[in-house]
Chains A and B, each alone.
Chain A
Amino acid sequence: MIVGEQKPFEEIWEMIKGFRKVLVFGCNTCVAICHAGGGKEAEILASLIRMKAVQEGIGMEVKHAAIERHCEPEFFDPMMEDVKTNDVVLSTACGVGVNFLAERIGDIPVFPGINTQFFGAVPKAGIFVELCAGCGDCILHLTGGICPVARCAKSLMNGPCGGTNKGKCEISRDVDCAWYLIVERMKKLGTIEKLYEIQPLRNWSTATYGGPRRVILEHIKDIEEQL
């Protein structure tokens, strides 16, 4: 899932203080799981904005709403007329949702209420860890299911580097050395010899270095157009 963190309130206030009708718009998928931008968090943020506005003597109408996803139009299209009645939308969806809504809402500004962080998992409640970098050329079958792109601080393809220390990365004792994990895992799987195979040069154009990416499924796209 996509992990995010709410922006500092002061930063949010600076964005919206000049507007009179504010909608705090939450997304009930990934960012709700990480307690950053779901319906509940949107409601709390709206309350905080109201409290701040009253104390600042600003007559601000602050509403809150949430939908299941901000990354597909069918989820927010039914709400669009209501959304457009506001002067500004403070979206607590991930950056994808902010972009997507901004493209469709016309002249109304859409501001981000959270900082979108990474693709992650939830090993324990309240803890979120990055496990995938979305590089577009997955090599997890070669690395024991542990991603060196996301989990090695240098994204090395031929680790571990000299900074590995008793299974930890030199950047922090709290960070596991991804290549230590890979080697140990592949030993367990009995596939350690695969690491000795020479791999072709990696094509990084599938990552963001190749510009904005898109996936088009012709068979699905055609069906959608016919509907």
Chain B
Amino acid sequence: MYAAKRVTYAKKLLSTVGIDPARLEMYNLSAAMGPKWAEICTGFTEKIRKLGPSPIWLAVCRQSGMKRSELK
């Protein structure tokens, strides 16, 4: 499970620069688990919505003097 360990490591790296590590997750699925995949995607999207915009995104908006809706 090298990938899982590396994701754990990447989460640590993200937290050192103020990014909530919950924004990165790893799931184990087979190609035959379509419904489960959809469920995970829906759940993860909801989770990210609750966490709000990333601090990087907000900082870019702040520095560019633009509203979030104006930025592509």
A interface residues (Cβ-Cβ under 8 A, vs B): 8-10, 44, 48, 51-52, 54-55, 57, 59
Contact = CB atoms under 8 A, between A and B. Distances in A.
Nearest to A12: B16
A206 B12 CA distance: 42
A44 B56 CA distance: 16
A172 to B, nearest CB: 24
Please classify the interface of chain B as helix (H, G, I), strand (E, B), loop, or mixed, using the class held by over half of its residues.
helix
A48 B11 CA distance: 12
Interface of B: 13, 16-19, 55-56, 59-60, 62-63
Contacts of B18: 51-52, 55
A18 to B, nearest CB: 18
Given A9-B17, A54-B56, 19 more contacts: A9-B16, A44-B13, A48-B13, A48-B16, A48-B17, A51-B17, A51-B18, A51-B19, A52-B17, A52-B18, A54-B59, A54-B63, A55-B18, A55-B55, A55-B56, A57-B59, A57-B62, A57-B63, A59-B63
Contacts, number: 28
Nearest to B58: A55
Nearest to A9: B16
B60 A54 contact: yes
A10 B62 CA distance: 24
A55 B62 CA distance: 10
Given A9-B17, A10-B16, A51 B56 contact: yes
22 contacts: A8-B16, A9-B13, A9-B17, A10-B16, A44-B13, A48-B13, A48-B16, A48-B17, A51-B17, A51-B18, A51-B56, A52-B18, A54-B56, A54-B59, A54-B60, A55-B17, A55-B18, A55-B55, A55-B59, A57-B59, A57-B62, A59-B63
